[in-house]
Amino acid sequence: MEFSKILNKSEFLKANLVQLLAAEGEELDLLYEKATEVKLANIGNKVYYRGLIEYSNICAKNCFYCGLRCGNTTISRYTLKDEEVVEAAGIAFEKNFGSLVIQSGERSDRKFIQKIADLLKQIRDLSEGKLRVTLSMGEQTEETYQLWRESGAQRYLLRIETSNPELYHKIHPNDELHSYENRLLSLELLRKTGYQVGTGVMIGLPFQTLEDLATDLLFIKNHDIDMVGMGPYVENENTPLYEFRHLLLPKEKRLELSIKMVAILRLLMPKINMAATTAMQTLHPKGREMALKVGANVIMPNLTPLKYRDGYLLYDNKPNIHEETESSLQRLKKSIEDAGCELALGDWGDSQHFSERVSKDF
């Protein structure tokens, strides 16, 4: 089908999405123009901050792509002290970010679960309930999700990584702890326990095809997801997947594919929240700006105390690990403006998709 006709459709078939993902030259310009138009018409040009706290790099899992995998003995492990979490949350509150993301390696022992619940309550107290909190702590039981929800978390990010079960099994160990089915179940439990639900995928993985990515987009749409964080796969030399780096697209093409994914998803889901992710910036200094221009509306400034930053290396060449908060915030604000967007402070920036979804349920 003719490219411009596809762009103006309201429903997209997988074949259409593959065609959009393959766009080059003038067609690619058309895709980006359309995505920008859809973004501005539906959610405007505001960009919301989520202050990011990388709480702990201790992880019970062993994903083949990630530097935090328990089998990686080259990093030293840390967990932030309570005071450090509270201080970082205080920065987000004082600076009027409106919201926080607490991310961690995956653990499901009682002590960890209770600690997160306690921290959530401390954050709720310090901000008088005025900060929205997103958790990103992997697969947990319904009881744990419920406990954390009641303790003050409103949003949860759990990436499906890839919606293709075969590819999922290629990039994870083949055991119960790394089950695709359980990941799906966890997404359902998050929905059931009342979170704004976020997911996402890695783009440009070894063995991944454009059909896989088209299916990822349809997965996100069909699961009626509220928020998305997706970005390029970036190799990490201390992980097993590094062996397949010869199969990867060059970095600029991997980034381009990620920006295309953002643009196309904005066409499919005009009202969701979508992050311009750090992995995009890792592949190109202006990677996040490109994403903001064509569809993203969320950025996560890192508030992790500097001394821990080199412990949270999911992939090689992660940027800003030595930069103080103040100067990185100034640069970030400029990037946002350069992308033609406006920084929104003092606003929760809830996903409009979520608000509409919830109001439909009543």
Site of interaction with ligand SF4 (CB under 6 A) = 59, 61, 63, 66, 68-69, 105-106, 138
Does the protein bind ligand 5AD through residue 148 (CB under 6 A)?
no
Residue 335's nearest CA partner among 277, 284, 290, 274 is 290
**Three-state DSSP class for 134?**
strand
> What is the closest distance, in whole angstroms, from the C-beta atom of residue 54 to ligand SF4 in the complex?
10
Does the protein bind ligand 5AD through residue 180 (CB under 6 A)?
no
Does the protein bind ligand 5AD through residue 315 (CB under 6 A)?
yes
> What is the closest distance, in whole angstroms, from the C-beta atom of residue 256 to ligand 5AD in the complex?
16
DSSP state of 201: B
Which of ligand 5AD, ligand SF4, none sits in contact with 315, Cβ below 5 to 8 A by type?
ligand 5AD
Does the protein bind ligand 5AD through residue 283 (CB under 6 A)?
no
Give 34 or 69: the residue with its C-beta nearer to ligand SF4.
Answer: 69
Determine the angle formed by the axes of helices 251-268 and 25-43, rounding to 10 degrees. 40
Phi, psi dihedrals of residue 294, rounded to the nearest 5°: -105, 10
Does the protein bind ligand 5AD through residue 289 (CB under 6 A)?
no
Give 123 or 205: the residue with its C-beta nearer to ligand 5AD.
Answer: 205
Contact 6, 268 (CB under 8 A): no
C-alpha to C-alpha distance for 327 and 355, rounded to whole angstroms: 34
User: Which of 220, 228, 314, 339 contacts ligand 5AD by CB under 6 A?
Assistant: 314
Does the protein bind ligand 5AD through residue 161 (CB under 6 A)?
yes
Residues 6+ apart with CB under 8 A from 182: 139, 176
Contact 349, 298 (CB under 8 A): yes
Which of ligand 5AD, ligand SF4, none sits in contact with 236, Cβ below 5 to 8 A by type?
ligand 5AD
Q: Which window, 29-37, 76-84, 111-119, 233-241, contacts ligand 5AD (CB under 6 A)?
A: 233-241
Q: State both tokens at 247.
A: 């199969």
C-alpha to C-alpha distance for 303 and 323, rounded to whole angstroms: 10
Biggest alpha carbon distance in the chain? 58
Does the protein bind ligand 5AD through residue 234 (CB under 6 A)?
yes
The contact set with ligand 5AD (CB under 6 A) reads 65-66, 159, 161, 202, 233-234, 236, 279, 314-315
